[in-house]
């Protein structure tokens, strides 16, 4: 009302002071009774506020609508919710980046189709996760930066009531719109809207949160699979029980919880999509009840997920010897091309060598599958006189660190060029170590 007064409307200092004094003086019991009577939440509070502000009562809600109150408030809440999530996600990403750097050179078996593929590193795989979380953080930044205030627009967005209050002075209406927008902490407002702000805003924000849900579901599924391989584990506390029936179990319950909440988060986006699609003309009211549920639910789910995920990243356990053992079972087959090239450099015939190594590989693979024996391909190579010229170089041919390609360099470049420039903006707002209470 201060802005109305500044722009020339007949509003007294006494009326404004009365409202300021009573701004926290809310009789919720009376408001509930008023809402039951009027079947209207905003008007219930207008009447309740007017009861304690008798001098200001005539000007409360002057020219405004329910959506002026409710929608602008929702936009403030959405903005503040994004500001809470962004540093939490940045903190979570920072923990994962530290993990990736620590293990950037540790060779591990990589998988396509969940079948053994080539050699990567634990840090490089962690960067696959980190890159998607970074994309999510940038998406949160985008929707946050693009968020606009509804502002002072009137019943159906025409600003007719305010134009009437200012006796046809369009400049004052626009000035009021800008003043209220700035007061609420927004850089801009919608020029065009109906009774509500566009419900595509909800869709955009929840879509970003749902996409984050897909990211973390993939990450935690990977960790669960790696836990089943015994290569990696989430934190497991000293007194934690994995199973009521199987005392030896170390179930990845944190990652399972994240996956469960992530599925909820991913499913929520269907609701705002449907709502945006049926906003007839300037609006319908079938958006109101579900938005009160889904907007809060999406942010609460995302918040629970990001805190749980940070707890996981802070305590990830890696088992290098298990990783090395699993890698050793497959590395000799991956090294066959290196063995062939070494033989060629020693004067051998490529096609002849290829047939030799192919035959030995099939024999070894057959024993592994049929008899459950470990890979003995290298022993077969050492025992075959054909390969005598390169036996002194055989260990070099199967050195896992020579199979990781650009993995280490890629981790370093990702950190320097992509992750760190974004994370530096949040360093003073990183979340301290997360302790799960449930």
Of 6, 73, 437, nearest in space to 291 by CA: 73
Structure tokens at 349: 């015939």
The pLDDT, as a whole number, for residue 248 is: 45
| Distance between CA atoms of residues 30 and 52, nearest Å | 11
CB 433 within 8 A of CB 100: no
| Closest residue by Cα to residue 69 from 185, 200, 197, 158 | 197
Span 209-245, pLDDT tens digits: 999 999 999 999 999 999 999 999 998 664 444 544 4
Alpha-carbon span 232 to 343, nearest angstrom: 37
> What is the structure's pLDDT at 251?
79
Instruction: pLDDT band for 438, please (50, 70, 90 cuts).
Output: low
Report the pLDDT value the prediction gives residue 244, as an integer from 0 to 100: 44
- Taking residue 203's Cβ as centre, other Cβ atoms within 10 Å add up to 19
In the set 113, 145, 244, 392, the catalytic residue is 113
Q: What is the mean pLDDT of residues 70-94?
A: 96
* Neighbour count for residue 229 (Cβ, 10 Å): 14
- Number of other residues whose CB lies within 10 A of the CB of residue 412: 16
Instruction: Give me the domains of the chain, ranges plus CATH numbers.
Output: 2-62 (1.10.275.10), 67-322+411-429 (1.20.200.10), 336-397 (1.10.40)
pLDDT of residue 120: 94
pLDDT tens digits for range 357-412 = 899 888 988 888 888 888 888 888 888 888 888 888 888 888 888 888 899 999 99
pLDDT at 4: 73
Read off the tokens for 59. 């000007």
- 243 a catalytic residue: yes
Contact 265, 209 (CB under 8 A): yes
Please indicate whether residue 407 is annotated as part of the active site.
Answer: no
pTM of the predicted model as reported, rounded to 2 decimal places: 0.86
- Model pLDDT, residue 375: 82
Model pLDDT, residue 430:
86
- As to burial, measured by CB atoms within 10 angstroms (0-12 exposed, 13-18 middle, 19+ buried), residue 201 is buried
What would the pLDDT profile of 270-299 be if each residue is shown by its tens digit? 999 999 999 999 888 888 888 999 999 999
Which token pair is 396?
A: 């070099």
| Contacts for 117 with CB less than 8 Å, ≥ 6 apart | 109, 110, 111
Among the listed residues 54, 164, 188, 243, the single catalytic one is 243
64 pLDDT band, cuts 50/70/90, is confident
Q: Which range, of 191-195, 198-202, 364-368, averages the lowest pLDDT?
A: 364-368
What DSSP line would sit under 310-331, residue for residue?
A: HHHHHT-EE-HHHHHHHHHHHH
Per-residue pLDDT tens over the stretch 148-182: 999 999 889 999 988 988 889 999 999 999 999 99
């Amino acid at each position: 009302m201060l802005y109305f007064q500044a722009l020339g409307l007949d509003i007294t200092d006494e009326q404004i002071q009365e409202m300021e004094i009573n701004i926290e003086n809310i009789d919720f019991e009376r408001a509930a009774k008023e809402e039951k009577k009027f079947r209207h939440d905003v008007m219930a509070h207008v009447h309740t506020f007017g009861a304690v502000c008798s001098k200001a009562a005539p000007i409360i809600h002057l020219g405004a609508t329910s959506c002026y109150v409710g929608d602008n408030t929702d936009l403030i809440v959405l903005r503040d919710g994004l500001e809470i999530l962004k540093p939490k996600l940045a903190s979570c990403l920072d923990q994962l980046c530290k993990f990736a750097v620590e293990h950037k050179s540790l060779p591990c078996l990589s998988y396509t189709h969940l079948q053994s593929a080539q050699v990567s590193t634990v840090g490089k795989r962690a960067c696959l996760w980190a890159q998607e979380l970074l994309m999510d953080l940038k998406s949160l930044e985008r929707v946050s930066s693009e968020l606009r205030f509804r502002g002072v627009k009137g019943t159906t967005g025409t600003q007719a009531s305010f134009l009437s209050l200012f006796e046809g002075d369009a400049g004052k209406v626009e000035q009021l719109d800008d003043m209220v927008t700035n007061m609420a902490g927004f850089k801009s407002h919608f020029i065009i809207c109906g009774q509500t702000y566009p419900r595509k805003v909800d869709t955009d924000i929840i879509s970003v949160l749902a996409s984050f849900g897909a990211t973390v579901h993939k990450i935690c599924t990977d960790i669960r699979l790696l836990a089943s391989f015994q290569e990696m584990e989430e934190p497991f506390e000293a007194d934690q029980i994995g199973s009521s029936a199987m005392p030896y179990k170390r179930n990845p319950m944190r990652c399972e919880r994240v996956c469960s909440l992530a599925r909820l988060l991913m499913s929520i986006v269907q609701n705002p999509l449907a709502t945006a699609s049926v906003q007839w003309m300037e609006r319908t009211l079938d958006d109101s009840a579900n938005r009160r549920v889904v907007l809060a639910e999406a942010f609460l789910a995302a918040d629970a997920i990001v805190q749980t995920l940070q707890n996981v990243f802070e305590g990830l356990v890696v088992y290098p010897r298990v990783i090395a053992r699993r890698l050793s079972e497959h590395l000799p087959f991956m090294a066959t091309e290196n063995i062939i090239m070494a033989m060629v450099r020693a004067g051998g015939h490529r096609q002849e060598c290829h047939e030799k190594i192919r035959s030995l590989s099939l024999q070894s693979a057959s024993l592994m599958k049929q008899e459950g024996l470990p890979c003995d391909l290298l022993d077969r190579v050492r025992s075959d006189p054909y390969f005598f010229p390169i036996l002194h170089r055989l260990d070099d041919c199967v050195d896992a660190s020579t199979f990781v390609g650009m993995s280490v360099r890629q981790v370093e470049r990702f950190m320097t060029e992509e992750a760190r420039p974004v994370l530096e903006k949040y360093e003073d707002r990183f979340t301290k170590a997360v302790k799960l209470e449930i």
